[in-house]
């Protein structure tokens, strides 16, 4: 297993996501949580494109698949650990993964990651809840304005995006 | 016919003008004054004003604006990056550059847009952006391309071998942030380097172009995917170009026939007509064999792995100016010395390292400088059936034995274990494996990735289907398999040591 794969597995472990890839939901959680980890400064070198469900890195899916197919992942994870600074960042990020009452965790992660991608890349006219909600709707993501507002607040609290004034 | 019309003036131009292939259209105004009745429609129809003659695609016409982009120092850097990394150490003629490939992809994109623009609903105004995105799609490549980019994928032997009881090994992402992939680096170059921003026409347009080639444009992902979609212009060019440069016969693609059979569905999906199915299949097989034979050639692969491990070791120790992490790479890309970030820079690192007293760094470097490749101790390969869930993989089992036994083997041979290079498992497939995954689970997340698969319009069908899903196609069966290999090399000149190592490892 190469270092990039080890890094991905360690990040997923720290975030409490794990490395199950059997279902669509598993893979969505892996994708969005690693995207958010990279946005939070724990960069493991994946490049995310925009897909139907938001940011997506095909190489990440491949890496995790290859790792679990060819290796005893648990014993690898026992041998390796992340540096303390990265762990701290991930611990802070993990708290934001708890979804609002009206959303499941995978959808919440999808919303957080998609909102960050669009705002950070200046692909939304105004980084506020009404504008972003409308834009997400165009991309077939039917989140409510309050859910989008909660995501923006969370991203700002984590300092992953700037304040509305900027 | 159009191509022929464009070529004619280009030939005249070469006869008359400078070696930069400037076409006489540069002096169009003068020409008009002296010609009484120049057909007015002819000038309007011309797409290009500058013509580059390319060994693969013939005449490639560029507008003055595109030519200005090509002429920037940031783009010209690509002239100093070899397309095929270290393949020239195996195939002496494989010295073609990223610049030639970029122009080739631009050429294919231009032809696809001529054929499919209207059907895809692409506005005339967006054509220029797509052409520029194709031209710039590789502008972020590292020296020796993927070689340096994949420095973080290296498995150093001392990290690989089992060492129970020792304290945990650490991934220090704070000290060694991974090197970014070439796409985000290209985005940084296009949106931040002044020469390109100016030539493209400002920051906002530069951002738009970058979003296209990094596939980050959320508003219209379909457009964004043109470069890498099922109509894979990137691959069309590199297969043809690499096959020509290496001299192997496998990379041949019937590009003209494929492009003349492009169709677009009402929902904007691109594919080939049914009668082009064989040409499409041949394209997939060409890619498969090029990977198997050329890109993963055992000697080329050995040199590249040695160089990658060398760079990784230099990076970890801060030697010879190799950037410590992603931030260092980004700083470099934005700084004054970016234009020196070429193959020659890596060559210089290797030459300096060859003088090193470090037993591993010095050995790795000298092997590259004197073209003395690491010796293949064993290759384990297999054709894996992807329809069978997690099974015993020979490659995985071999790699596990390497982990468990390499330290002891190194001791018994009296060599430094770090001179063993372990690589793999590496897979080669007709199509991306996630296609198989999607076919089984039909999930939305991977559904868009399926758009990147080669597609065929069955007779009278409005929407195309993936070639791998067509029962009549041989790829329907072949795509369920992957050729996989794992390799163990030893950096050593001692024939006896190499022979003993081969003997020992034969049973692993």
ipTM of this predicted structure: 0.83
In three-state secondary structure terms, B481 is: strand
Average pLDDT over residues A130-155: 92
Which residues of chain B make contact with A88, given a CB cutoff of 8 A?
none
Give the Cα separation of B192 and B213 in Å (integer): 16
Mean of the pLDDT values across residues B154-174?
78
Chain B residues 320-379 within an 8 A CB cutoff of chain A? 326
**pLDDT confidence bin for B479, thresholds 50/70/90:** confident
Q: Tell me, what's the pLDDT at B162?
A: 63
Name every chain A residue with its beta carbon within 8 A of the beta carbon of B216.
48-50, 117, 121, 123
Confidence grade of residue B176 (pLDDT, cut at 50, 70, 90): confident
Report pTM.
0.84
Nearest to A57 by CA among B355, B185, B27, B214: B214
Is the pLDDT reported for residue B432 higher than 70? no
Torsion-angle region of B97 (φ positive above 0: left; ψ -120 to 50: alpha; else: beta): beta
Would you place residue B225 in the very low, low, confident or very high pLDDT band (cuts 50, 70, 90)?
low
Tell me how far apart the alpha carbons of residues A51 and B447 are, in angstroms, rounded to a whole number.
Answer: 9
Give the residue from B376, B378, B353 showing the smallest Cα distance to B363.
Answer: B353
Distance separating alpha carbons of residues B470 and B475, to the nearest angstrom: 8
Of A123-127, B149-153, B303-307, B436-440, the one with minimum mean pLDDT is B436-440
Question: Which residue in the block uniquely carries the two structure tokens 């597995």?
Answer: A9
Specify the pLDDT at position B10.
38
Amino acid B450: pLDDT: 63
Contact A47 B180 (CB under 8 A): yes
Contacts of A59 in chain B (CB under 8 A): 181
Three-state SS at B490: strand
As a whole-number percent, the residues of chain B with pLDDT over 70 amount to: 82
Cis amide leading into B425 (omega within 30): yes
Those residues with Cβ within 8 angstroms of residue B473's Cβ, 6 or more apart along the chain or in another chain? B277, B281, B456, B467
Would you place residue B427 in the very low, low, confident or very high pLDDT band (cuts 50, 70, 90)?
confident
Rounded to the nearest 5°, which phi and psi values hold at B214?
A: -95, 5
Asked whether residue B109 carries a pLDDT value surpassing 50, the answer given is yes
- Give the length of chain B: 508
Q: pLDDT-based confidence at B273, cuts 50/70/90?
A: very high
HSE-up of residue A11 (Cα within 13 Å, Cβ side): 31
H-run or E-run covering A36:
helix A24-39
Q: Is B173–A86 a contact, with Cβ atoms under 8 angstroms apart?
A: yes
Mean pLDDT of A75-96: 91
A55-69, B4-18, B173-187: range with lowest mean pLDDT: B4-18
Average pLDDT over residues A102-114: 95
The pLDDT-based confidence of A76 (bands split at 50, 70, 90) is confident
Residue B185 is predicted with a pLDDT of 95
Task: Return the pLDDT at B44.
Answer: 57
Residues of A in contact with B214 (CB under 8 A): 47, 49
pLDDT reported for residue B226: 66
Cβ contact B242:B88 at 8 Å:
no
Q: Has residue B22 got a pLDDT over 50?
A: no
Higher pLDDT, B214 or B135: B135
Q: Backbone phi, then psi, for B281, in 5-degree steps?
A: -65, -40
Specify the pLDDT at position B228.
Answer: 60
- Number of Cβ within 10 Å of residue A103's Cβ equals 17
Q: Cβ–Cβ of A86/B174 closer than 8 Å?
A: yes
pLDDT digits (tens, 9 = 90+) for B491-503: 999 999 999 999 9
Q: Would the CA dihedral through B501, B502, B507, B508 be positive or negative?
A: positive
Instruction: Look at residue B232 in the predicted model and tell me its pLDDT.
Output: 74
Label residue A164 by pLDDT band (50, 70, 90).
low
Does residue B352 carry a pLDDT above 60?
yes
What pLDDT, on the 0 to 100 scale, is given for residue B13? 39
What SS3 state is found at B376?
Answer: strand
Helices B394-413 and A58-70, packing angle to 10 deg: 70
In tens, the pLDDT along B302-320 reads 999 999 999 999 999 999 9
Q: What is the 3-state secondary structure (H, E, C) of B97-143?
A: EHHHHHHHHHHHHHHHHHHHHHHHCCCHHHHHHHHHHHHHCCCCCCC
- Band the pLDDT of A163: cuts 50, 70, 90: confident
The average pLDDT across A119-125 equals: 89
Q: In B318-461, which residue ranges form alpha helices assigned H by DSSP?
A: 326-334, 343-354, 359-369, 394-413, 433-441, 444-450
* β B169-171/A80-82 pair status: parallel
User: pLDDT (tens digit, 9 = 90+) per residue, B353-363?
Assistant: 999 999 999 99
User: Is B438 in the A-facing interface, judged by CB distances under 8 Å?
Assistant: no
How far is Cα of residue B83 from the mean position of the Cα atoms in its chain? 8
Average pLDDT, chain B: 84
Per the model's pLDDT, the better-predicted residue between B180 and A24 turns out to be B180
User: What does each C-alpha distance from B170 to A96, B156, B404 come to in angstroms?
Assistant: 26, 13, 20
| Alpha carbon of A140: minimum distance to chain B alpha carbons (Å) | 11
- pLDDT band at residue B142 using 50, 70 and 90 as cut-offs: very high
Contact check, Cβ <8 Å, B434/A61:
yes
Q: What pLDDT does residue B389 have?
A: 62
Least confident of B45-49, B65-69, B292-296, B375-379: B45-49
Which residue of B171, B221, B396 is in closest CB contact with A3? Answer: B171
Residue B372's pLDDT is 95
Q: Which of B295, B309, B306 is nearest to B367 (CA)?
A: B306
Q: How many CB atoms lie within 10 A of CB B115?
A: 17
B19 pLDDT band, cuts 50/70/90, is very low
Name the closest residue on chain B to residue A82, using Cα atoms.
Answer: B171
Tell me, yes or no, if B481 comes closer than 8 A to chain A by beta carbon: no
Mutate to test the interface with A, among B171, B172, B309 (most CBs of A within 10 A): B171
pLDDT at B396: 86
Q: Give mean pLDDT, residues B379-389.
A: 83
| Percentage with pLDDT > 90 across chain B | 56
Residue of A nearest to B426 (CA): A66
The C-alpha atoms of residue B473 and residue B147 are separated, in whole angstroms, by 35
Q: Is the pLDDT of residue B506 over 70?
A: yes
Q: What is the three-class DSSP state of B42? A: helix
Residues of chain B neighbouring A118 (CB-CB closer than 8 A): 218
pLDDT at B338: 94
Tokens of B479: 């795509």
Nearest-angstrom CA–CA distance, B26 and B453 = 41
Cβ–Cβ gap A52/B445 under 8 Å: yes
Cα–Cα nearest to B302, from B379, B196, B233, B360: B379
3-state secondary structure of B56: coil
Chain B residues touching residue A51 (CB < 8 angstroms): 221, 445, 448-449
In angstroms, the separation between the Cα of residue B457 and the nearest Cα of chain A is 23
Q: In angstroms, rounded to a whole number, what is the distance separating the alpha carbons of residues B212 and B208?
A: 6
Tell me the pLDDT band of B168, cut-offs 50, 70 and 90: confident
Alpha-carbon distance of B327 to A22, in angstroms, equals 35
Q: Which of B396, B408, B422 is nearest to B491 (CA)?
A: B422
Joined together, the tokens standing for residue B476 give 């329907």
In angstroms, the separation between the Cα of residue A49 and the nearest Cα of chain B is 5
């Amino acid at each position: 297993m190469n270092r990039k794969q080890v890094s991905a597995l360690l990040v997923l472990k720290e975030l409490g996501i794990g490395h199950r890839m059997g279902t669509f939901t598993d893979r969505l959680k892996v994708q969005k949580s690693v995207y958010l980890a990279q946005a939070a400064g724990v960069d493991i070198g994946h490049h995310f494109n925009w897909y139907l469900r938001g940011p997506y890195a095909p190489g990440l899916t491949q890496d995790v698949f290859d790792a679990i197919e060819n290796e005893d992942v648990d014993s690898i994870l026992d041998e390796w650990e992340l540096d303390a600074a990265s762990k701290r960042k991930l611990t802070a990020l993990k708290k934001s993964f708890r979804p609002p009452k009206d959303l499941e965790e995978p959808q919440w992660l999808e919303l957080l990651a998609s909102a960050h991608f669009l705002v950070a890349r200046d692909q939304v006219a105004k980084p506020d809840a009404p504008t972003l909600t409308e834009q997400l709707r165009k991309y077939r993501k039917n989140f409510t304005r309050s859910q989008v507002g909660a995501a923006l607040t969370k991203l700002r609290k984590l300092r992953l995006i700037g304040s509305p004034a900027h | 016919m159009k191509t022929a019309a464009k070529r004619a003036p280009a030939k005249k131009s070469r006869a008359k003008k400078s070696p930069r292939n400037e076409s006489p259209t540069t002096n169009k105004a003068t020409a008009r004054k002296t010609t009484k009745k120049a057909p007015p429609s002819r000038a309007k129809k011309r797409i290009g004003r500058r013509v580059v003659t390319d060994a693969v695609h013939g005449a490639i016409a560029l507008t003055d604006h595109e030519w200005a982009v090509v002429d920037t120092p940031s783009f010209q850097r690509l002239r100093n990056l070899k397309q095929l990394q270290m393949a020239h150490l195996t195939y002496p003629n494989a010295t073609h550059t990223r610049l030639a490939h970029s122009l080739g992809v631009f050429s294919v994109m231009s032809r696809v847009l001529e054929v499919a623009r209207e059907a895809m609903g692409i506005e005339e105004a967006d054509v220029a952006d797509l052409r520029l995105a194709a031209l710039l799609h590789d502008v972020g490549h590292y020296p020796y391309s993927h070689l340096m980019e994949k420095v973080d994928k290296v498995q150093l032997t001392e990290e690989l071998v089992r060492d129970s009881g020792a304290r945990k090994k650490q991934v220090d992402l704070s000290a060694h942030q991974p090197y970014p992939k070439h796409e985000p680096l290209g985005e940084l170059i296009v949106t931040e380097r002044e020469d390109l921003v100016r030539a493209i026409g400002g920051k906002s347009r530069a951002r738009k172009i970058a979003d296209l080639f990094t596939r980050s444009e959320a508003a219209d992902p379909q457009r964004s995917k043109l470069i890498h979609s099922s109509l894979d212009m990137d691959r069309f060019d590199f297969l043809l170009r690499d096959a020509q440069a290496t001299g192997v016969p496998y990379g041949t693609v019937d590009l003209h026939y494929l492009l003349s059979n492009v169709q677009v569905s009402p929902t904007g999906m691109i594919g080939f007509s049914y009668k082009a199915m064989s040409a499409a299949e041949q394209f997939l097989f060409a890619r498969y064999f090029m990977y198997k034979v050329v890109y993963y050639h055992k000697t080329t692969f050995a040199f590249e792995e040695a160089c990658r491990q060398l760079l990784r070791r230099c990076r970890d120790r801060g030697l010879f100016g190799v950037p410590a992490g992603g931030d260092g790479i980004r700083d470099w890309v934005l700084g004054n010395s970016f234009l020196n970030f070429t193959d020659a820079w890596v060559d210089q690192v290797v030459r300096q390292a060859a003088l090193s007293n470090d037993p591993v760094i010095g050995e790795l470097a000298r092997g590259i400088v004197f073209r003395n490749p690491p010796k293949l101790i064993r290759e384990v390969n297999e054709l894996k059936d992807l329809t069978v869930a997690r099974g015993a993989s020979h490659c995985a089992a071999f790699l596990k034995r390497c982990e468990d036994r390499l330290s002891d083997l190194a001791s018994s041979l009296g060599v430094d274990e770090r001179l063993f290079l372990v690589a793999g498992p590496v897979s080669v497939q007709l199509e991306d494996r996630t296609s198989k995954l999607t076919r089984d689970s039909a999930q939305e997340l991977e559904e868009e990735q399926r758009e990147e698969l080669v597609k065929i319009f069955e007779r009278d069908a409005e929407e195309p289907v993936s070639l791998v899903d067509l029962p009549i196609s041989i790829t329907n069966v072949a795509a369920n398999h992957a050729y996989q290999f794992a390799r163990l090399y030893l950096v050593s000149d001692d024939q006896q040591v190499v022979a003993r190592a081969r003997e020992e490892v034969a049973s692993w």
